[in-house]
Amino acid sequence: MAQQYRMEYGNLIAELKAQGQAQSEAAQARSPLAELLLHLEEVWNRISGVGDTGSFLDWLEQTEPLKAKNNLDDDSSAAIETLDTLDSLLLTGIVELEQLAREDVSADTLEERLRQIWQRSYAHYAAQEENHLQEIFVRRGQALKARVYPTANQRRRLYRTGLPPRSGNELLALYPSLKRDLEKGSNYALWKPNERLNYIQDLVDQLTSLPKYKRSDKADRSRVNLREVLQWWLNPTSVTKKTPKDVSAWYKYVSDNFAFRFNWGLGSVIALAADEALDGGLLEPSLENWPLLELPWIVLWLKELIIWGTLEPVAAYLLSKNMEITRASAEEVAKSYYEEQPPENDVNELLNASTIRDWATKHYSREKNLPLLRPPDRMQVELQQDFRKVEARQWKVIPVEVEKTLHWFDPAGILLATSGRPTIWHDTFLNSYDFILDVNEKMVSSEPYI
């Protein structure tokens, strides 16, 4: 069967290649990376007025976008911005290479790896000027490490921002202030609604002050007040003045500027905090590891608060799990959570996501007079694929109930194993647990998640 698939794949590639050769030059597929490199050289030519490749490569090796002036003409500014975009791609490759090597990478090794990355890119196959573009790609990559961003710490922190270096550098400058304000949320669980709102508003103000996360021009032209809309979205009962016309515009404003821009920036800030706390090390994201980031628990909940439109983390959890349907009902039920917590609990720990999850599971089982349901910790399975030539020994799988059996599929939809249906089984388990297939033990284990 595998041999048949390989033959069919080979025939498909040959057919596509034949079709590509028959197409006109104008109709050929184009690589975004190749287009970026060609555009970079084009805008540079408009600045210098010199089409000499050697001069362009010299410019690539010497230009440092972080030192570029703010009052550049349009062509010079376009060249710097295009170069900055290229740098973001190259930094990703360089930093991840250094993390895999766990040591400094020599210039020769870096050049070899950059060429390997290029040869695996679509641009290598699609671009007509492949050799020339490869040289641009490699020369700039070498310059980043040797001259433009010469320290591993700087490269790694810019990479952690998830932004092009110029925008990432702006976030790094703001990061110390942002982190101090995030840390002020340790007592969030005891705050009154207006204190909670002010905390979130201040964070939104700071992040959206950066050009990359700036509120959309369209929203600004409509003269929407950020604080009014945020208050309306997170604490609607406190707003007394609004009209149906406002609601339509404000929903869009929330989606564009809070759910997208603010949450995007917040993710970058958390990545920087993790990098700082772990001194550049990598850590598996999990609730158990969150305290290592040295941020209060409310920071973990901020994204959910924005998405669900509430100031209450417990309510956000109940809404996300469909345990409650409306914000009002979820916020009312959340009061029970705080009433049932031991008074000696640390205030910050009141928002521990594991504690909230466990309370919600018990609360709703109790409310429905049902036993506390959970899947078996381990289930014996029968493998449906030959894993002898596969390195991975553990796979995330998704259960599908078929009569009295469970079929375990990987996320791509390939059947990996089957098992009998446990005595205790419910469709809702899929919303509360990860299932991991261990090939060696022929077992599926269940792991709760938030």
Give tens-digit pLDDT for 191-212. 999 999 999 999 998 998 888 8
The answer, yes or no, to whether residue 371 has pLDDT greater than 70, is no
Taken in order 360, 365, 366, 368, the sign of the CA dihedral is positive
CB 261 within 8 A of CB 215: yes
Structural domain span for residue 197: 177-367
Of the residues 341, 367, 393, which one is the last residue of a structural domain? 367
Q: What is the pLDDT of residue 157?
A: 93
Secondary structure E strands in 271-391? 378-380, 382-383
Average pLDDT, the chain: 83
Instruction: Name which residue leads in pLDDT, 72 or 355.
Output: 355
In a shared domain, residues 335 and 361: yes
Residue 210 lies inside a defined structural domain of this protein: yes
Q: Which of 319, 344, 367 is the endpoint of a domain?
A: 367
Residue 14 belongs to a domain: no
Tens digits of residue pLDDT in 212-229: 888 665 544 455 677 888
Query: Do 109 and 132 sit in the same domain of this protein?
Result: yes
State the pLDDT at residue 331: 92
In a domain, 342, yes or no: yes
Question: Hey, what amino acid is at 23?
Answer: Q
**At which of 340, 367, 394 does a domain end?**
367
Same domain? 34 vs 111: yes
Q: What is the pLDDT of residue 51?
A: 58
Residue 366 has pLDDT above 80, yes or no: no
Rounded mean pLDDT, 35-63: 81
Domain count along the chain: 3
pLDDT number for residue 419: 93
Q: Are residues 362 and 386 in the same domain?
A: no
| 308 contact partners, CB below 8 Å, separation of at least 6 | 315, 316, 319, 320, 327
Does one domain contain both 302 and 440?
no
pLDDT of amino acid 10 = 64
pLDDT at 244 over 70: no
pLDDT band at 243 (very low <50, low <70, confident <90, very high): low
The reply to whether 164 falls in a domain is: no
* CA-CA-CA-CA dihedral for 319, 323, 325, 326, to nearest 10: -60
Residue 312 belongs to some domain of the structure: yes
Q: 88 and 141 in one domain? A: yes
In a domain, 338, yes or no: yes
Tell me, yes or no, whether 16 lies in a domain: no
241 shares its domain with 355: yes
Distance (Å, rounded) from C-alpha 365 to C-alpha 358? 11
Query: Which range has the worst mean pLDDT, 182-186, 211-215, 399-403?
Result: 211-215
Distance CA 355, CA 291 (A): 14
Residues 202, 232: one domain? Answer: yes
Residue with tokens 């040959």: 14
Q: Are residues 416 and 385 in the same domain?
A: yes
Same domain, 101 and 203: no
Residue 103 amino acid letter: E
pLDDT of 2 > 60? The answer is: no
Whether residue 141 is predicted with pLDDT greater than 60 in this model: the reply is: yes
Nearest CA-CA partner of 173 in 204, 205, 210 = 210
* Planar angle of CA 138, 157, 32, nearest 5 degrees: 40
Tokens of 426: 């419910």
Shared domain check, 224 and 202:
yes
pLDDT at 25 exceeding the cut of 60 = no
Q: Give the H or E element holding residue 203.
A: helix 193-207
Q: Please tell me the predicted confidence (pLDDT) of residue 132.
A: 86
The Cα angle at residue 147 between residues 67 and 42, in degrees rounded to 5? 65
Confidence check: pLDDT of 231 > 50: yes
Q: Residue 303's pLDDT band (boundaries 50, 70, 90)?
A: very high
pTM above 0.75, yes or no: no
Tell me how far apart the alpha carbons of residues 397 and 191 are, in angstroms, rounded to a whole number: 41
- Highest mean pLDDT of the ranges 140-149, 182-191, 318-327, 364-373: 182-191
Residue 220: per-residue pLDDT: 47
In angstroms, the CA 221 to CA 256 distance is 14
Task: For residue 126, tell me if it sits in a domain.
Answer: yes
For residue 49, pLDDT beyond 90:
no
Residue type, 368: K
In whole angstroms, how far apart are CA 225 and each of 4, 246, 261, 432? 62, 11, 16, 38
Q: Are residues 102 and 184 in the same domain?
A: no
Q: Can you give the pLDDT at residue 15? A: 66
- pLDDT for 356: 93
The whole-number average pLDDT for the span 48-64 is 78
Q: What are phi and psi of 225, to 5 degrees?
A: -85, 120
Q: How far apart are CA 447 and CA 433, in angstroms?
A: 5
Average pLDDT over residues 365-377: 67
CB crowding 14-50: b at 16 or more within 10 Å, else e:
eeeeeeeeeeeeeeeeebebbebbbebbebbbebeee
Decide if pLDDT at 295 tops 80. yes
Q: Is 65 helix (H, G, I), strand (E, B) or coil?
A: helix
Determine which of 197-211, 242-256, 403-417 has the lowest per-residue pLDDT on average.
Answer: 242-256
Task: Report the SS3 class of residue 398.
Answer: strand
Q: Which residues pair with 434 in a beta bridge?
A: 447
